[in-house]
Amino acid sequence: MAIFEGAGVALVTPFHDDFTVNYEKLEELIEMQIAGGTDAIIIVGSTGEPSTLSIPDHLLVVKRCIEIVNKRIPVIAGTGSNSTETAIGTTTEAVKLGADGCLLVTPYYNKATQKGLVHHYTTIAKEVPSTPLILYNVPSRTGLNMMPETVAELVKTVPNIVGLKDATGNIAQTARMMNYCDGKLDLYSGNDDCITAIMSLGGKGVISVLSNIAPAQTKEIVMSYLRGDVKKSAKMQLEAMPLIDALFCEVNPIPVKGAMNLMGLGVGPLRSPLSELESQHVELMRKELEAYGLL
């Protein structure tokens, strides 16, 4: 049984102007997502700026999200680290707080061999045997590509490793991975420009940046496909491409926070070393938001 099927949002972490977490705004954003039909909240993933949150703040954001959602939809906590010990600590604490699942990015900077990845994930999974885990493969951010054979080994040998957020952009690799996994893997697109393509390979949905600003539209791309209306899903995917491109004109989550502030959602600044959206990209974002009917 998948943790969720449909559109999950990789939610931003809103800050006050003094860079403290804005919990009132967090509640507003979560309610907006639930009202828009979002199927799961992915909290403090890459889009939520975990690299500049202390572990206590990280866990407090997870805790408040779980409390606000109050079991209406699943909450999946981003708890990955390039340290196995740190990932175990954050994951076990998130589970104690009531997270429905955890998202675990591949180790970054120090990287790992494929053998090291198997050990890393297996070790974490054993500490939370009743909690479903979603692996996260995003080579553009981590400098490490988890190979299809590695994913297949993990999902076949570790019962609570159930899913993968695929942000490789490599559809051939994704197809090979799904073949190796023999139907045992819940696949989610980690790229908003690949939703329909991932669905065609057996995907369950998307963990989306786009959903921060367009939750209903993002969900409909997925649900149209699941209802069998592939043409509508593909049409909506293509129509969203200019906005999706704008959302990744700089490193995520710089553009999406810029877009949300342009829309009046007031999510505040980014923590350094991330910087505000460049002026030329502000105008690009404004143009694409208007074209998509969001301004």
DSSP-assigned letters across all residues of 187-244: EEESSGGGHHHHHHTT--EEEESGGGT-HHHHHHHHHHHHTT-HHHHHHHHHHHHHHH
| Diameter over CA atoms, the chain | 49
Angle at 269 between CA 263 and CA 273, to 5 degrees: 135
| The one catalytic residue among 25, 63, 136, 188 | 136
DSSP-assigned letters across all residues of 91-122: HHHHHHHT-SEEEEEPP-SS---HHHHHHHHH
Spacing of C-alpha 138 from chain mean position: 11
Residue 248 to residue 209: CA distance in whole angstroms: 9
Burial of 249 (0-12, 13-18, 19+ CB in 10 A): middle
Task: Report the candidate in 206, 245, 254 with the shortest Cα–Cα distance to residue 47.
Answer: 254
Catalytic, 165? Answer yes
Residue 111 to residue 18: CA distance in whole angstroms: 33
In Å, what is the CA distance from 172 to each residue of 37, 75, 167, 209?
31, 30, 13, 23
Task: Report the candidate in 73, 123, 63 with the shortest Cα–Cα distance to residue 93.
Answer: 63
Residue 271 to residue 130: CA distance in whole angstroms: 34
| The one catalytic residue among 25, 63, 165, 204 | 165
Local structure of 283: helix, strand or coil: helix
Catalytic, 219? Answer no
Which run of H or of E encompasses 131? none
Query: Hey, which residues are catalytic here?
Result: 136, 165
